[in-house]
Amino acid sequence: MKRLFCYLTLLVAGGLNAAEFDYGLKARQIASDVHVFVGRTEDFTPANGGNIVNTGFIVAPGGTIVIDSGSSRRYGEQMRQAIAGISPKSVALVINTHHHPDHFLGNQAFADTPIAALAATRQGIGADGNVFAENLYGLTGDWMKGTEVFAPTQTLAAGTLEVAGRRLRLIALNGHTEADLVIYDETSGVLFAGDLVFNERAPTTPHANVEHWLAALDQLEAITRETGFKMLVPGHGEVARDAAPIRQTRAWLEWLQRTLRESAAAGLDMNEVLARPLPPEFAKLPVAASEYRRSVGHLFPAAEQEALK
């Protein structure tokens, strides 16, 4: 009896342990044959396991197209299981929109399929991928167990791409990173904007060029008018039916850039800049305070150098 009790205890503990590492991914259909997994508007924590990113997939006539693979091997595996629950079609292509870890560290789960990205994204993953993975281990813990960098195997370029009978328009921009890929599905009118666009969440800036990012948002908004898109999938935050998230992201970046330039011109030091209050329109955004602090660290030294010139 004692042995049976111990065995049952181990079974329960094992079940609980497995549940602890369940991302609970539930695909949401936003258009015909287009589905997304919407992440939380939070920082990376051991509680969320890095599930703070939006990923998606398109069920094309000849296979499934995956847009970003998530933040860990576990995420990628669970994502693939969720996709299989919706369509029995094999994965035809995985696209990484840029080289930030929450968008490509699930690639291992798709190692048997073509994985593609812009040339600079492939280079960025090769250069920084291991450091990114180590950082996420520190931030999320055992959610990352077994995760290793698996880089894209194919290079994409701007233009039209036919995949598995589906026509995609690839738009190569930059600003959030050196290479930011936007994907427009011509059949459904869904625009996957990657991390160029955040919706009701403060943007991240570790590799940002704000001037380029603002220019990219102008181009992106022009594209929304040109295409008459139906749905916008930001890199983080809720899916939208209009271009409001583009405008919100632009407003944050313009305020951030103006604040840093004015602070540098006034001779403020970094601690004084960090102490500046957030405007009411941004203070309500999730993680706004922490992203502002990080952005000051990322961007204020360059603003100081600009002021000195």
| Per-residue model confidence (pLDDT) at position 92 | 98
Helix (H) or strand (E) holding 36: strand 34-37
| Per-residue model confidence (pLDDT) at position 95 | 98
| Per-residue model confidence (pLDDT) at position 14 | 35
CATH number at residue 200: 3.60.15.10
| Per-residue model confidence (pLDDT) at position 309 | 84
**Phi, psi (deg, nearest 5) at residue 210:** -65, -40
282 domain residue, yes or no: no
96 domain residue, yes or no: yes
| Per-residue model confidence (pLDDT) at position 10 | 30
pLDDT along the chain (309 residues), means of 10: 33 44 97 98 97 98 98 98 98 98 98 98 97 96 97 98 98 98 98 98 98 98 94 98 98 98 97 97 96 98 94
- Structure token pair of residue 139: 């931030």
307 domain residue, yes or no: no
| Per-residue model confidence (pLDDT) at position 220 | 97
| Per-residue model confidence (pLDDT) at position 17 | 53
17 domain residue, yes or no: no
Sheet-wide strand order for 115-118: 28-31, 34-37, 55-60, 63-67, 91-95, 115-118, 154-156
35 domain residue, yes or no: yes
118 domain residue, yes or no: yes
Burial tier of 128 (Cβ tally within 10 Å: 0-12, 13-18, 19+): middle
4 domain residue, yes or no: no
261 domain residue, yes or no: no
Instruction: Please state the domain count of the chain.
Output: 1
Look up the domain containing 31 and give its range: 24-242
